[in-house]
Amino acid sequence: MNKILLYLIMLPSGLWRRMGADVTQLKAILTVKLKMDDRKPLTMGRQQPNKKKKIKYASTVAFILSFFVGFMYIFPLIVFEDPYLKLFGLYTMLTVLLTFGLVTDFSNVLVDTRDKLIIFPKPVSDRTIFLSRVLHIFIYFFRSVFPMSLMAWIVWGILYGWEGALWFPVPLFFLTLMSLFFVMGCYSLLLKITKPEKFKDVIGYFQIFFSILVFTTYYMVMPQMRNQEVFQQFDIKTISWIRYTPTYWLASCWYWVQPKAAVLAGTGWLSILAVLTPFIMLWVTVKFFAPSFIRKLSAIDGVEVATPKKTVKHEGKSKLYIRLANMFNRTSASKAGFSIAWLQTSRSRAFKMRVYPGFAYVFVYFFYLFLNTNVAFADLFEKMSQTRSHLFLLYMTSFILLNAVSNMNMTEQYKAAWIYYTSPLESPGRIMGGAFKAMWIKYYLPFVIVVTGFVLYVWGIGALIDVILATANVTTYVLILMYLGNRHLPFSMPEQMKTKAGKAVLKMLFAIIFMGCMGLAHYAIYFVWLKVLLTFISIALLWTIWDGYINTSWKQLKIAEDAY
Amino acid sequence: MEPIISISNLTKQYGDKTVLNNINLDVYPGQIIGYIGPNGAGKSTTVKVLTGVIQDYTGEVIVAGKNLRDSLMDVKRMIGYIPELAELYDLLTPREYLNFTGTLYGMEASVIEERMVKMLDSFGLSENIDQRMDSFSKGMRQKVLLASGLLHNPSIVILDEPLSGLDANAVILVKELLQRLKQEGKTIFYCSHMMDVVEKVSDTIVLIDKGTIIANGSFAELRAGSGESLEQIFSKLTMADNLLEKAGSLASAMTDNTNTQQL
C-alpha cells in the first residue's frame, strides 16, 4: 500500500521540483519515514520478533474499523434531496473529522524535531523537508480517508450509476489536500506568533481546545439532526451563502457530471475553485511558510542549557503527590509507581493531549443532557429527578478513568524504562498498582466527588447507593480491562502510529459498549437491598482482581508486552 | 580470595546467532575490570545478563556467593548500573528522578534526599536540581544517571561508556571517583571504547570478541613487554586484516568511483 501511494505521490515530481524541492531527496526521506512508521520499536531487553502477520492483521482491523465509521457519512446522502446538498453535507462532515484527526493525531509528525541531527545538517533544502512532512502526513491521511469514504462511495454509485462512482474519488483528493493545508496554515501562523520554546505547549493546548470545539459542535448539532423531515424539505436556495464555503466548491464538482441539477448560480465556476484552491494553498505554504517553519522548528528543543523558567517548585515533603503516595501505598515499589505516574501525567504533552479533552467531553455530555430535555430551567431539576439519568452520568465518568489508565503506559521515552528492569523489583505489579491508584485519585476521584455532589442535590440521598455501586463497578471494570489487556509498566511502551492503533481503538470501543451495558443493567435494578448486595460483590471482585494485578510477575508482563 | 562475580560457561543465543559463547570470568572485590571489545562483541549482552535484564541464558553467574538466577533481587540490590545512552524520564527534575529510582531500591526518603543533594552538588548540578531535564545537555543527563546508579551505595558498579558526553573536567572527576570507589572496596565493571582511559583505570582488562573472551589480564600482562599501547593490542587481537590497509581502501572507495564527484 505504501509503495503504491509513494509512487502516486511522486508522479507530479515536476510540480515538487518547481516548488523548490529536490525530488530524489524527497523520495528518499518519504521512503525511510514510511518504513520507520511500519516498524515496531523494541522495548527493554527484547529482540525483534518476526511478526509481519500481526502487523498486517492490525492494519486490516484498522481498515474494517474505518469502514464501519464510514457508515456515518452516508447520512447526508440519504436525508437530502438535492445532490449538491448531499455532497455539501458529506464533505463538511469529512472535513471536520479529517481536520480533527489531523490536529490530534498527526501534529507530532508535523512538528517532529528528531530530524534535527539527521536531516537538518545534510544538504537538504527547507522546502524539501517541509514538503516531505506534508506528503508524509498526506499518505497516512489518504489511507484513512479511503476506507472511511468507501461506504459513501458505494451509496453514491448506487444512486448515480457508474459515472457517479467514477467521479467520486476526485473531489475527495482535493478535500484531503484542503484540510491538510488548512491545518498547516494554522500551525505556520502559530509558529509565527509564538516563541519556539513555547510552540509545543501552544500546539498541545490548541489540540485540546480544537478537540473540545469539534466535540461540542457535534453534540450541539446532533439533537437537530433527529428530525429527518426538516432535511427532506430543505431548499438549497434558502442557504445560498454556502457557495462561499470550500466544501460547497468541492460539491460543485458534480457539475462536471450533472450540470442541470445545479440550482445555485455559478456552480460550474465554483468547481474550478475546488481544483485550484488546494494547489494555491500548497504553493503559498511551501513558498512563504516553509523556510520560517523549518527555521523555527530547528529552534524548538534547541536550548541545550537549562532554562530557569522550567524550574519546578520544591517544597520538600509537603508536596501533595508525595504525601498521597505515602498515604495510599505501603511498599516502596508502589510509592515509586504512584509518583512516576503522577508526575509524568502532569508533564507529558502527549498524555495531556489524549486524556484532557475527555474531561471536557463529560461536561459537554452533561450540558447536552440539559439542552435535550426541552424543559424550562426552573423545572429542570424537578424533571430530572423524576428520571434516572444520574446513572448515565455516573457511568460516563468511567471514560475519564479508562482514558487515563490506558494512556499512562505510552511514551516516546519508553527506553527510559530500563530502570525498572535493573531495579530489585520482585514483581512489577506493585509499580503498576501504585500507578493505577495515582490515576484513580488524580483524575477519577475529583470527578466522582463533583458528580456525587450534583446527584445528591438533584436526586437526594437515596441515590447514594447508586453512586457507590457505580463507582465500585467502574473501578472494578477498568481494573479488569487493565488486568486482561493492558498490563504494562507506567511510561514503558512506545507510542504507535495511527494505522497500527486500530486494535487499540477497537478495544476502547468495546470497553465503552460493555460499560454502557453495565449501566443499563444497573438501570434495571430497583431494589435497594439488591444494590447493596451487588456493591459488596463488586468490591469483593475488585479485591480479587486487584490482588492479581499487583502481583503481576515479570513473566506475565513479558507476555503482555509481546501481545502489544 | 573469593571472586565477587563468577561467570561460568555463560552462553546467550538470539535465534541461530550466538552472542555470548561460553564466557568464563572471575572478578574480585575492589577490582576495576575494563571490559572492552569491538561493536557487537557481546559487551552489552554480558551487562544485560549481570543486571538481570536478560534472564534466558545458559551457564551460571554467581554474584557475592549468590546465584543470579535464584537470587535475582539480592543481586540487583548489590549492583549500580549506569547505561550507555542517557535514557531517562526527562520531564522530571533530577530531584524527582532520583527520588523515583531511590524508591525503586527501597531507600528511605531522607537518605535519598541527603545523598542526592551531596552527589548533584559534587557534579556541579546543585542549581539544576529542580529543573526539568528535557533542557539538559547530554553530559548533564549522564551526571544524573551516574548519581542514580550510585545512590543506593552498591557494592558493584557497572558502567557502560560512562564518559560519553562529559566535558574534560567531568571526565577527570569520574576517573577520580572510580579510584575512590575502588578504595572503598567496590568492584567496578567498566565497559568502554576509550582505550586510554581503560588502560589507565583498570586493574584487569578483559577483551571480548564475537562472544568469546580472547584476552584477560592486567595491562602489563597483555602487553607482555612488547611496549604496545592498549589500542594497538586491541586492534591486533580483534582485526584479522591490517587496519592501515582498511583505512586505505576506505579512502580510495570515495575516489575510485568514476560517477562520484568531489563535493
The confidence band for B204, taking pLDDT boundaries of 50, 70 and 90, is: very high
Q: Given B74, B88, B135, which is nearest A416 (Cβ)?
A: B88
Grid cell at residue A235: 431548499
Interatomic CA distance for residues A249 and A178, integer angstroms: 11
User: pTM for the full model?
Assistant: 0.73
- Which of the four pLDDT bands, split at 50, 70 and 90, describes residue A437? very high
Residue B92 to residue A419, Cβ atoms within 8 A: no
**Residue A528, pLDDT score:** 85
Element (H, E) at A411: strand A410-411
β-sheet bridge partners, residue B209: B212
Interface size A-B, in CB pairs within 8 Å, comes to 117
Higher pLDDT, A59 or A499: A59
Angstrom distance (rounded) from CA A228 to CA A317: 61
Contact A424 B106 (CB under 8 A): yes
Cell numbers for A528, please give them: 435497594
Average pLDDT score over residue span A321-330: 90
The better pLDDT of the pair A3, B58 is held by B58
Task: Give helix B138-150 / helix B168-183 axis angle, nearest 10°.
Answer: 10
CB-CB under 8 Å, A317 with B109? yes
Q: Which residues 323-342 of A are in CB contact (within 8 Å) with B?
A: 332-333, 335-336, 339-340
Give A477-498 pLDDT, tens digit per residue: 999 989 987 889 999 888 765 4
**Contact at CB, A312 and B96, closer than 8 angstroms:** yes
Contacts 24+ apart (CB under 8 A), B68-75: B72/A424, B73/A424, B73/A425, B73/A426, B74/A424
Asked if A255 and A271 count as a contact pair (C-beta separation under 8 A), the reply is yes
Does the pLDDT of residue A504 top 80, yes or no?
no
Answer for the pair A514, A448: CB distance below 8 angstroms, yes or no: no
Q: Quick one: pLDDT band at residue A304, thresholds 50, 70, 90? A: very low
Reported confidence tier of residue A370, pLDDT bands at 50, 70, 90? low
Q: Is A344 on the interface with B (CB under 8 A)?
A: yes
Q: Can you tell me the distance from the alpha carbon of A526 to that of A88, in angstroms, rounded to the nearest whole number?
A: 48
The string of pLDDT tens digits covering residues A538-555 is 999 999 999 999 999 988
In chain A, residues with a C-beta closer than 8 Å to the C-beta of B143 are none
Across all residues in chain A, what is the average pLDDT? 79
User: B62 forms bridges with which residues in the sheet?
Assistant: B6, B67
Read off the C-alpha cell for A285: 505554504
Whether residue B147 is predicted with pLDDT greater than 80 in this model: the reply is yes
Q: What residue of A is the nearest CA neighbor of B148?
A: A419
d(CA B180, nearest CA chain A) in Å = 24
Element (H, E) at A67: helix A52-69
The pLDDT of residue A305: 37
Region of A52 (left: φ > 0; alpha: ψ -120 to 50; beta: rest) is alpha
| Buried b / exposed e along A319-341 (16+ C-beta atoms within 10 A) | bebbebbeeebebbbbbbbbbbb
Cell 530489585 belongs to residue: A424
Outline where A486-553 has alpha helix (H): 502-524, 528-550
Mean pLDDT of A65-75: 76
Q: What is the largest CA-CA distance in chain B?
A: 68
Q: Which residue has the higher pLDDT, A538 or A57?
A: A538
Beta-carbon contacts of B183 under 8 Å, excluding residues fewer than 6 positions away, are: none
In whole angstroms, what is the distance from residue B218 CA to residue B207 CA?
Answer: 11
pLDDT at residue A229, rounded to an integer: 59
Q: What is the mean pLDDT of residues A256-283?
A: 82
Segment A189-207 mean pLDDT: 74
Each residue's pLDDT tens digit, B66-84: 999 888 888 988 999 998 7
CA angle A453, A456, A460 (to 5 degrees): 165
Binning pLDDT at 50, 70 and 90, where does residue A436 land?
Answer: very high
Q: What pLDDT, on the 0 to 100 scale, is given for residue A306?
A: 39
Question: Bridge partners of A9?
Answer: none
How many residues in chain A?
A: 564
For the question of an ipTM over 0.85, the answer is no
Residue A240 — very low, low, confident or very high, per pLDDT cuts 50/70/90?
confident
User: Among A315-324, B30-39, B163-172, where is mean pLDDT lowest?
Assistant: A315-324
Interface probe, candidates A43, A340, A408, A415, chain B, greatest B C-beta count within 10 A: A340
Calculate helix-pair angle for A528-550, A464-485, nearest 10 degrees: 30
Kindly tell me if the per-residue pLDDT of A264 is higher than 70.
Answer: yes
Determine contact, residues A101/A69, Cβ cutoff 8 Å: no
Residue B94 · residue B128 · CB < 8 Å: yes
* CA A30/CA B160 separation, integer angstroms: 35
Tally: H helices and E strands in chain B: 10, 10
pLDDT at B157: 94
Q: What confidence tier does A503 reach under pLDDT thresholds 50, 70, 90?
A: low
Longest dimension (CA), chain A: 77
pLDDT at residue number A233 = 62
Q: What is the mean pLDDT of residues B138-162?
A: 89
C-alpha A425 chain-centroid distance? 34
Chain B interface includes A308 (CB < 8 A): yes
pLDDT at B10: 94
Is A47 near chain B, with CB under 8 Å?
yes
Q: Which of B67, B33, B58 is nearest to B158 (CA)?
A: B33
| More confident: A41 or B71 | B71
Report whether A360 contacts A487 (CB < 8 A).
Answer: no
pLDDT per position as a tens digit, A152-187:
888 888 888 888 888 888 888 888 888 888 887 777
pLDDT for B155 beyond 90 = yes
Name which of B147, B77, B80 is nearest A424 in CA terms.
B77
pLDDT at A303 exceeding the cut of 60: no
Which of the two residues, B236 and B70, has the higher pLDDT score?
A: B70
What is the predicted pLDDT for the residue at A545?
93
Kindly determine whether residue B135 and residue A322, on different chains, have CB atoms separated by under 8 Å: no
Q: State how far residue B54 is from chain A, nearest Cα, in angstroms.
A: 6
Pick the closest to residue A192 from A37, A263, A297, A103 (CA basis). Answer: A297
Q: What span, in angstroms and rounded, lies between the C-alpha atoms of A388 and A36?
A: 51
pLDDT of residue A490: 92
CA dist A195 and A113 (Å) reads: 15
A468 — pLDDT class (breaks 50, 70, 90): very high
Whether the CB of A313 is below 8 Å from some CB of chain B: the reply is yes
* C-alpha cell of residue A549: 494485578
| Choice between B39 and A470, residue whose per-residue pLDDT is larger | A470
Q: CA-CA distance, A143 to A120, in Å (whole number)?
A: 28
Test A419 with B77 for CB contact under 8 angstroms.
no
Which positions in chain B touch A312 (Cβ < 8 Å)? 93, 96, 130-132
- Mean pLDDT taken over chain B: 85
Nearest-CB residue to A306 (from B15, B91, B131)? B131
**CA nearest to A476, candidates A443, A515, A503, A449:** A515
pLDDT of residue B29: 92
Mean pLDDT of the region A9-13 = 87
- Cα-based distances in Å from A309 to A198, A399, A542, B128, B139: 11, 34, 43, 11, 21
CB contact under 8 A, A424 and B88: no
Asked if residue A54 has pLDDT above 60, the reply is no
Q: In A, which residues are within 8 Å of B105 by CB distance?
A: 332, 423-424
Average pLDDT of span B55-61: 90
Joined together, the cell numbers standing for residue A182 give 488548512
User: Which residue did the predictor score with more confidence, A45 or A403?
Assistant: A403
Among the residue ranges A71-85, A257-271, A498-512, B117-131, the one predicted with the least confidence is A498-512
Q: What span, in angstroms and rounded, lies between the C-alpha atoms of A194 and A199?
A: 6
- Reduced to 3 states (helix: H, G, I; strand: E, B; else coil), residue A302 is coil
